[in-house]
Amino acid sequence: MAPLTAAGRPDLTSDSVFFVGNGVLRVAPIGTGESGEQKLSPSWADYMDILWSFTKSGTMELADFAGLPAPRQAEWFDREFRAANHTNANVAALRLHLLGKILHSSSDILTNPLLAELARLIVLPATDEQQPISGVDVITTNVDCALEQNIASEFETLWQHDATTVGRVTIDTIVDFRLSARWVRSVADSGPEFRVRVWKVHGCLRDLKIELSRDRAMTRNVLDLAGDKEIGLCGQVPTDTLADRLPGWSQIAEPSTSTRSFSGVFSQSEYFENLLVLAGQTTDHHSADFRTLLETRPLIFVGYGIPEVDVDVVYALQRYRQRGDTKRWQLLAERDLGVGNKERLRQMGIDPWSFHVSPIGFAAMPGKLRAARRHEWRQTTEDPLTIPPERDWRRSLERVSAQAWLEPQLAALRSLAPQVAPATSLPVKRQRLVVAGLGSIWHGFALTNAPDFPIQRRVSARLISVDAGVPGGSGLVPVMVAAATAGPSAVGALTYFSNVPTQWSGWEAIEDLCLSAGIGVHSWQPAENEPETNSVGRTSHVIFFDPARADGMSQLPRQRFIMDVQALANADHAPQVADWSKLVVPPARLHDEFQTPDEEDFLFIDKESDPKIVAEWVGPTVYETGASGDEMVRLLKPANAKPTIWTAGVGSFVRTMVALAGRTPDEAAYGRGPRGVLDHLSEDASIEALADCGDLRERYLAKMVGFGRPGIWDHGGVDGFTYQDELDYGCWLRDRWVDLAPAMWRLLRTGTDSVLKKQHDQIGRGVLTTIHEGGLMAYWQWPDGSTESVVVTIDTTAAEHDHEQLTVTCEVSCAAGQQPLAPVELRVSRRELVLAVDGSVERLGPTDPIRRNTLAAGDTVRGAMAYGLWAAAYRQPAGTRADIRRIFLASAALATLKCYAGSFVDFLKLLERLRGSDTWSAIWGGI
């Protein structure tokens, strides 16, 4: 077989030897479970859960146990189980039984696309009629018979399609450097014989099952300990037959009697026993052949990370160097390819063969990621196996992580010997919820009393920490809220493109938080010829204060005063920066070919992103312009980028409407002060109604339109406007929305100059404006051209007998002929929060009043809305029109809950608790 070469990957020849680790078992198979989701089996998380649950010693948490290397896990389990159960039973046999039960839960072939592709490459020489050879070698650390099963299955496929002239195949399994099993299959009286030698370095479950089964008393004892009287020892690990679907393969050799006593595989002490063999200090029958194989044949490592705990393998590779130009290659992730690892491999004569794993591949079980452990919010339990699948973050994370590792490795292996039609195809991708935009880390502090508010030269020391190192930014907050709202069933379907570079110290926290929620996360990358010195990360220090000057135990949420602290992403460039004022937060970008033309996904994107994303996106888009920006006109319109939905704060909505009407004041109008700005607006009939707001005209509207302008922004001796003025104007606009919205809509969609693209078939198109603690308002258009106004009012009332008991009501407007929706109530007191809707009540327990705040309340609306619209677009039957009023009512209700829940993590915990409850169903309906 002629070598197939390419830069960065190995040469594949008939002499090549694949060294296969048990990593090939930790990738996703192709198939679906009963719910339509991909099913991962065998599940390594199940094996970790079962082992850990059998000890209950309390000396180690599950996350720490799962992080141990396999031999260390084995030693710990054997010791702790004996101590916890006061038994001298063969605990290693129990551990191996549990492993076999997980790996071989049935008598079918244990396979996945990676195993199938490896089998194809291993037997590829048998299809070469030009250079026929008699056999190949494979080395593996696997303990089961999966490789033999897949190799045999591949030969069955070759014979079925007349793709080989081989008439007889022999698969020799060599364990402990002695022949353990010989599987034989003949399909013709003539034709060459092909032999495959499978070298198992760390034992074989088949051998151990046969050996252990001879001791009936021990077998009964193990099954009793496991509670598996109806299950055979080690499950369906094959002994006499490879698999039910491979009946023609007969076994004609029994394991030879070993002079060494093995207690079980995955034992560190037994690895040292192997080392003695590999050092040549024993005379095992095949050990010399194995050492020669290491010295003379090219090795390709797949699914094996060469851990230092495998001292036998490390020793063999280090000692038995290859002669001549023979190569060794290891298929490994780019992320693991640091300078130190490269040197470590080089010293063993190994060249890296790298592949890229998407970040979601590095997701882990709850509690294991650093930031997730500090800010854990997902449901955990002492018995993880009791969590229903739809609420199980661990298995969902494992599934998508395995898929992320499968795809690039499968592509790499297929590149060695391309085929016209791959034996296994990857699953069709489902429509994703993609968020692009600002990422930040927030640190929140609360003031006990209004007089403590910091002034320019002094910051009060009387600060109380509310949140630290939690999501910030109009991109990161919505994607975290959407993930928590969607739950484990959406793990892997969410992607976040941040504007934060990896060089920034805050990136690790952002990546960690996203992966903990099953979000595929990508950092900012500079465009070609773009200097990295112009990129900065952003940390926001947020002070919560009480504008009503109530005492420190006020039941009302606190408002925020944000101080953004920007820093160079790469501190090494600091001496080169002459003008720090020119540093800008970079725009979020998608990586090339993220979305192919035949894919459709849902996009939520903010103003800190490249407008080109909106212009080129396939599928519905939501564009967010924040509290005061006019980016819809200033950035998107020049780029001919049209979103499906626009969402903004009240100030951003007003400034954008003024710009669309062509009434942005000129210098002359600005020069006449607030009155000049207001007169300029009133001259246009399409927006003059926005200025009919009484005494708020000068206090808020003129200042917002003249944002930052001297003489306007500082009018009345107030720098800007107060929180109360902004809230009052938003509520004024909300109460007149039904009458004002149609005129505003005409500005958004005037003929061919529309700033919105056409309606989506199921969710339509529209505009949403949010009001801090006042509710929200939207105007929507459906594919049939019909429109509707949506107003959600949030009303806060105090009990007459106790002003520290509040009832916050979220209620959606109901037009003539519409079915009323039950309002959502949040009852707040010192003792507890109570969420009530349509007769369903959920008691949520108390929260600390000092931690109640509006941090990210507007972004919470957008995150919940993004989930609701995505689910309506892609998770409901085709042709079902979205219940837009329901989505916005639910979004406003969750944002209200956020204000009173305490910290951001406390809020996520409440979402986790509510999701799937009757109250949750009453809020969201069938979405």
With left for phi above 0 and alpha for psi between -120 and 50, is residue 250 left, alpha or beta? beta
Single-letter amino acid, residue 610:
D
Q: Go through the chain and tell me how many residues it has.
A: 927
Average pLDDT of the segment spanning 736-748: 93
Taking the C-alpha atoms of residue 214 and residue 644, their distance in angstroms, rounded to an integer, is 69
Task: Say how far apart CA 282 and CA 261 lie, in whole Å.
Answer: 15
| Six token digits for residue 102 | 């997980």
Q: How far is CA 293 from CA 467, 512, 749, in A?
A: 58, 43, 72
Mapped to the 3 state alphabet, what secondary structure does 396-424 carry?
Answer: HHHHHHHHHHHHHHHHHHHHHCCCCCCCC
Confidence of residue 30 (pLDDT cuts 50, 70, 90): low
Share of the chain above pLDDT 90, in %: 40
Give the mean pLDDT of 761-775.
Answer: 94
Do 604 and 646 contact (CB within 8 A), yes or no? no
Please identify which residue in the block is written with the tokens 């109250």. 919
- What is the per-residue pLDDT across 635-651, written as a single tens digit (0 to 9) for each? 999 999 999 999 999 99
Write out the two tokens for 384. Answer: 């993880």
Q: pLDDT digits over 379-414, tens only?
A: 766 565 666 666 788 878 888 888 889 999 999 999
- Quick one: CA torsion of 916, 498, 543, 647, rounded to 10 degrees? -70
**DSSP E strands, 550-686:** 559-568, 602-606, 621-624, 645-649
Cα 361–Cα 298–Cα 267 angle in degrees, nearest 5 = 60
- Whether 5 has a pLDDT exceeding 70, the answer reads no
Whether residue 284 is predicted with pLDDT greater than 70 in this model: the reply is no
Give the CA distances from residue 311 to residues 174, 556, 832, 843, in Å, rounded to whole numbers and listed in that order.
20, 62, 57, 55
Q: Is 12 helix (H, G, I), strand (E, B) or coil?
A: strand
pLDDT at 919 over 60: yes
For the ranges 55-64, 66-75, 885-894, the lowest mean pLDDT is seen at 55-64
Q: Which position has the higher pLDDT, 173 or 42?
A: 173
Residue 564 — pLDDT band, cuts 50, 70, 90? Answer: confident
Gap between the Cα atoms of 462 and 494, Å rounded = 40
Q: From CA 810, how far away is CA 893, in angstroms rounded?
A: 6
Strand partners, 542: 444, 562
Give residue 867's pLDDT. Answer: 97
What pLDDT score was predicted for residue 418?
77
pLDDT at 3: 40
Can the peptide bond before residue 710 be classed as cis, meaning omega within 30 degrees of 0?
Answer: no
- How far apart CA 100 and CA 113 sit, in angstroms, is 21
Handedness of CA 480, 401, 352, 422 (dihedral sign): negative
pLDDT band at 842 (very low <50, low <70, confident <90, very high): very high
Confidence grade of residue 34 (pLDDT, cut at 50, 70, 90): very low
DSSP 175-244: ETTEEEEEEEEE--SSS-EEEEEEEETT--HHHHHHHHHT-HHHHHHHHHHHT-TTS-TTTT--SS-S-T
Q: What's the mean pLDDT when you consider all of the chain? A: 85
DSSP letter for 701, please: I
Q: What is the pLDDT of residue 519?
A: 95
| pLDDT above 60 (res 459) | no
Cα diameter, the chain: 103
Whole-number Å distance between alpha carbons of 406 and 29: 9
- Amino acid 318 reads Q
For residue 350 the two structure tokens come to 């190994």
**The token pair that represents 653 in the structure block:** 């909505």
> What 8-state DSSP symbol labels residue 913?
H
Report pLDDT for 562.
79
Is residue 624 a contact partner of residue 656, using CB atoms and an 8 Å limit? no
Measured at the alpha carbon of residue 223, what is the angle toward residues 143 and 204, in degrees to the nearest 5? 10
Within 520-649, residue ranges assigned H as helices are 611-616, 631
User: For residue 864, which phi and psi values (nearest 5 degrees)?
Assistant: -65, -40
Among the residue ranges 83-92, 694-703, 768-777, the one predicted with the least confidence is 83-92
Which of 57-61, 555-559, 750-754, 888-892 has the lowest average pLDDT?
750-754
If one compares 643 and 39, the residue with the highest pLDDT of the two is: 643
Q: What pLDDT, on the 0 to 100 scale, is given for residue 2? A: 38
pLDDT of 422 over the 60 cut: no
Give the count of beta carbons closer than 10 Å to the beta carbon of residue 618. Answer: 13
* C-alpha–C-alpha distance, residues 684 and 659, integer Å: 12
Rounded distance between C-alpha atoms, residue 195 and residue 180, angstroms: 15
- Give tens-digit pLDDT for 214-252: 888 888 989 998 889 888 899 999 998 999 999 999 988
Q: Is the pTM of this model over 0.85?
A: yes
Q: Has residue 761 got a pLDDT over 90?
A: yes
Across residues 103-125, what is the average pLDDT?
A: 92
What single letter denotes the amino acid at residue 840? S
pLDDT above 80 (res 461): no
Residues 6+ apart with CB under 8 A from 300: 10, 12, 16, 17, 18, 19, 328, 329, 331, 353
Please identify which residue in the block is written with the tokens 């800010």: 375
Q: Which residues pair with 442 in a beta bridge?
A: 470, 540
Confidence of residue 601 (pLDDT cuts 50, 70, 90): very high
Phi, psi (5° rounding) for residue 181? -150, 150
Give the Cα separation of 625 and 606 in Å (integer).
Answer: 6
User: Angle 770-638-741 (CA atoms, 0-180°, nearest 5)?
Assistant: 30
Q: What are the backbone angles phi and psi of residue 727, rounded to the nearest 5°?
A: -65, -45
Residue 838 in 3-state DSSP?
A: coil
**Half-sphere CA count of 229, side-chain side, radius 13 A:** 1
- The winner for highest mean pLDDT among 317-326, 455-464, 713-722 is 713-722
Closest CA to 476 of 440, 524, 526: 440
